[in-house]
A and B are shown apart, each in its own frame.
Chain A
Amino acid sequence: MITKRIIPCLDVKDGRVVKGVQFVQLRDAGDPVELAKFYDEQGADELVFLDISASHEGRKTMVEVVEQVAAQLAIPFTVGGGINSLDDMKKILRAGADKVSLNTAAVKNPQLINEGADFFGSQCIVVAIDAKYDEAIGSWRVYTHGGRNATEREVIEWAKEAVERGAGEILLTSMDCDGGKNGFDIALTKKVSEAVSVPVIASGGAGSAEHFLAAFVEGKADAALAASIFHYKETSVKEVKAYLKERGVNIR
């Protein structure tokens, strides 16, 4: 059967990895290609690059980064951030990315999911959802613009709609848990994973190997994403995988 996937996420700004990745053994810790190769060797199952460039030039640079990464990396990778049109998707996928992730643009224009899935196939289209619990609706609310703007949408319904429109995967980030290192939002992950027929990537809150175990076993996630605990070497992909394997989780 298929393995649970561990996915490190790299933030890229103007072609450089930011958020101070701490690897002494790398010649250049800001080089996306070097980091990608490092994580591949560590046993990462996939990578996500999030382009946080604000400028048009920065986005152009991202296409070059994708080309360089694709030339070196022998595992799949997803690119998100700033993808607003079918044309943007074409640029990134033709540069060699395996999947694109849509977030704000998909909420603003859900038809974009259909267009992408029709053109490239669902396997290329990831819909990223930023979720925050809202007592008023007794569920999670969808946020956009990097978590700054609340929308009228409820997360479970939006996830279902995204899949109906052709999303091949849901990247689900809990804003409540993100940055806290106290674990993934299990209730949220489980709800979404049970509601949709495509894989769900849990994101936000990873602080230890135990948290990954909970996301997979209780949260029923198909994959789990983390950034800082890997970048700051609090643990490694290798250690997390060894821990999961010992506890009977199917891991590559």
Chain B
Amino acid sequence: MIGIIDYGMGNLYSVSKALERLNYEYVISADPKRLKETKGLILPGVGSFRDAMHILNETGLADFIRAAVGEGTPLLGICLGMQLLFEESEENGLTEGLNLLKGRVVRFPGITANGETYKVPHMGWNRLQFRHPSPLLTNVEEGYVYFVHSYYVDTDEESVVLASSMYDVEVPAVVGKGHVFGTQFHPEKSSYIGMKILQNYANIVEGKGEA
């Protein structure tokens, strides 16, 4: 069973429905006790980094997540949920993240090195390019997935970037280290490729894929 962390931000419904289509059991909860009974966690999220961290800290969920990861529980952050895994974000003033992965969250400049402007948010379907093998990407094709975001992760720790997409800059699209994973895109909205990634995560949670 997967625990979907409900902290009031984001579309929990589509993530949970995607798990239903995979016939995988889940609970949606804000209660650490209830979440603790699950084998793996999903941290969804749409909205601002600052608001999200504020709620996670206030509710004690931030401490719970760090402790659970420390005990070896797999975690998958989606969209904002992935950004929250990193050290800090510059969205609405510098805010500290969960600090599970090294890197910071910065805004797309909206203008290329040659002075051409482009649209922000990065919204729509973009192609994955694999960087490092991972059980999360087993039998996943290097196809298109659906992104909606204005900030992206800038990291020097090259090994955590499992897959990336180009949008002016190289955008970390799938990240992972040990049993902590994140997708910048929405797997639950990324057709069959996204469903395969969620299936792989469920397998990791069940101990069928190595992490």
Binds A, one of B65-73, B97-105, B123-131: B123-131
Q: Is the CB of A74 within 8 A of B188?
A: yes
Q: Is residue B50 contacting chain A, with contact meaning CB distance below 8 A?
A: no
A-B interface contact total, Cβ < 8 Å: 81
Q: Is the CB of B191 within 8 A of A71?
A: no
Verify if A109 is at the interface (C-beta below 8 Å from B).
no
Verify if A1 is at the interface (C-beta below 8 Å from B).
yes
Q: Which of B18, B119, B123 contacts A74 (CB 8 A)?
A: B18
In the complex, per-residue mask of B101-134: 1 if CB is within 8 Å of any chain A CB, else 0: 0000000001000000101111111100000000
- How far is the CB of B160 from the nearest CB of chain A, in Å? 24
Q: Are the C-beta atoms of A70 and B17 separated by less than 8 Å?
A: yes
1/0 contact string of A75-112 vs chain B (CB within 8 Å) = 11000000000000000011110100000000000000
What are the interface flags for A117-130 relative to B under an 8 Å C-beta threshold, 1 for contact and 0 otherwise?
A: 00011111000000
Q: Which residues of A contact B110 (CB under 8 A)?
A: 197
**B126 cross-chain contacts in A, Cβ below 8 A:** 1-3
Task: Write out the residue numbers on chain A whose beta carbons fall within 8 Å of the beta carbon of B64.
Answer: none
Is A2 within 8 A of B146, CB to CB? no
The count of residues in chain A whose C-beta lies closer than 8 Å to any C-beta of chain B is 30
Does more than half of chain B's interface fall in helix, strand or loop, or is it mixed?
A: mixed
The answer to whether the Cβ of B166 comes within 8 Å of any Cβ in the partner chain is yes
- The winner among A72, A96, A252 for most chain B CB atoms within 10 A is A252
Contact mask for chain A residues 41-55; partner B; CB cutoff 8 A; 1 contact, 0 none: 000010000000000
Q: A45 and B190 in contact (CB under 8 A), knowing A70-B17, A71-B20, A197-B119?
A: no
Cβ contacts under 8 Å, A168 to chain B:
121, 123
Contact of B13 among A40, A95, A121 (CB under 8 A): A95
Separation in Å of the B4 CB from the closest CB of chain A?
A: 14
Least Cβ–Cβ distance between A249 and chain B, in angstroms: 13
A222 with B124: CB separation less than 8 A: yes
Contact A74 B190 (CB under 8 A): yes
Interface size on B, residues (CB 8 A): 35
**Chain A residues at the B interface, C-beta cutoff of 8 Å:** 1-3, 5, 40, 45, 70-72, 74-76, 93-96, 98, 120-124, 168-169, 197-199, 222-223, 252
What residues make up the interface of B, taking CB atoms closer than 8 Å to A?
Answer: 11, 13-14, 17-18, 20-21, 46-48, 110, 117, 119-126, 143-144, 146-148, 166-167, 186, 188-192, 194-195
21 contacts between A and B (CB under 8 A): A1-B166, A2-B126, A3-B144, A70-B14, A70-B17, A71-B20, A72-B17, A74-B18, A74-B21, A74-B195, A76-B186, A96-B14, A98-B189, A121-B46, A123-B148, A124-B46, A168-B123, A197-B119, A197-B120, A222-B119, A252-B125
17 more contacts with CB within 8 A, not counting A1-B166, A71-B17, A252-B125, are A1-B167, A2-B125, A2-B167, A72-B17, A74-B190, A75-B189, A75-B190, A76-B146, A94-B13, A95-B13, A96-B13, A96-B17, A121-B47, A123-B46, A123-B123, A222-B119, A222-B124
